Amino acid sequence: AKLGKVDMLSVCISLIVLLITSFTFATHAHQHGGAHADKAQTVLIAGIAGLITYMIVGGLSGFFEDRLEEDEEREHEEEEEAARSGKPRSAVKLAGQAAFFMFLYLEVLDASFSFDGVIGAFAITNDIVLMALGLGIGAMYVRSLTVYLVRQGTLDDYVYLEHGAHYAIGALAVILMVTIQYEINEVITGLVGVVLIAWSFWSSVRRNRALEAAEGKAAGPGEKTEARSGV
């Protein structure tokens, strides 16, 4: 928990992993036809470019988020000032600014999710058609499903689903590094994520059952009898 508070720790870890990968797996990169070649420079440049993109997107996201918070605080202060002085305030201008920065903020977030999807797709296949189909389905269906689950409070009920998703992303990252040198079957790559998500779901179900059992024991037989009788 303390290490998580260190600024730019994720970037430092990514750079370390990138250097290790460049001088290990990338020196004997797998090529089509079974041949191997030294792709250390290519992997290093691509990794640095990805980190730069990540930092730019993260910086823009933080900037727009801070700007939205500042606009909300300023709007609240102007509301209080208008209430004290009895003067009308420019609600249209404030609403327009808030909507504009909210739009930019959502676009930046959407771009960051798109980066994750595209990079993760390379861990499964290099077929552009399959990648386009998968990302298209993700854009139309998975996001709608995500919004539905958030509104239904599913992530609150199944608390380990988010952890399982993070583990799945980490597993895909490891597989993506390994596939630089070794060829891994696409079925294995896909099943790893499915197994981790299913495991997190089952762990959440077991947790919920354990909590219900503990609450039932804490309630005691007397309270159960009263609840059944309707008293």
Phi, psi (rounded to 5 degrees) for 159: -70, -20
Range of the domain at 29: 1-122
Using alpha carbons only, give the angle 196, 202, 208 rounded to the nearest 5 degrees.
135
- Helix ranges (H only) for the chain are 9-22, 40-85, 91-122, 128-137, 143-152, 154-157, 161-178, 186-229
In a domain, 134, yes or no: no
- Helices 40-85, 91-122: inter-axial angle, 10-degree rounding: 160
Q: Tell whether 72 and 30 lie within a shared domain.
A: yes
CA dist 223 and 221 (Å) reads 6
In a domain, 141, yes or no: no
211 contacts: CB under 8 Å, gap ≥ 6? none
In a domain, 136, yes or no: no
Q: Tell whether 106 and 157 lie within a shared domain.
A: no
Q: Tell whether 216 and 167 lie within a shared domain.
A: yes
User: pLDDT in tens for each of the 231 residues of the chain?
Assistant: 566 566 678 888 888 998 998 888 888 887 777 788 888 898 899 889 888 887 887 787 777 777 777 777 777 777 777 777 766 555 555 556 666 666 666 666 666 666 667 766 776 777 888 878 877 777 777 667 767 776 777 777 888 888 888 898 888 888 888 888 888 887 888 889 889 989 999 999 898 888 888 887 776 655 544 444 444
The residue with tokens 């039932």 is 216
Q: Tell whether 92 and 160 lie within a shared domain.
A: no
Nearest CA-CA partner of 121 in 137, 135, 108, 110: 135
CA dist 124 and 133 (Å) reads 13
Q: How many domains does the chain have?
A: 2
Which amino acid appears at position 81 of this protein?
A: E
Which amino acid appears at position 101 of this protein?
A: F
Q: What is the pLDDT of residue 196?
A: 92
Q: What is the pLDDT of residue 229?
A: 45
Q: Tell whether 105 and 164 lie within a shared domain.
A: no
Q: Tell whether 18 and 117 lie within a shared domain.
A: yes
CA dist 136 and 105 (Å) reads 22
Q: pTM of the prediction?
A: 0.64
CA dist 13 and 11 (Å) reads 5
In a domain, 131, yes or no: no
Q: Tell whether 165 and 59 lie within a shared domain.
A: no
In a domain, 13, yes or no: yes
The residue with tokens 């990514």 is 14
In a domain, 27, yes or no: yes
In a domain, 6, yes or no: yes
Q: Tell whether 118 and 170 lie within a shared domain.
A: no
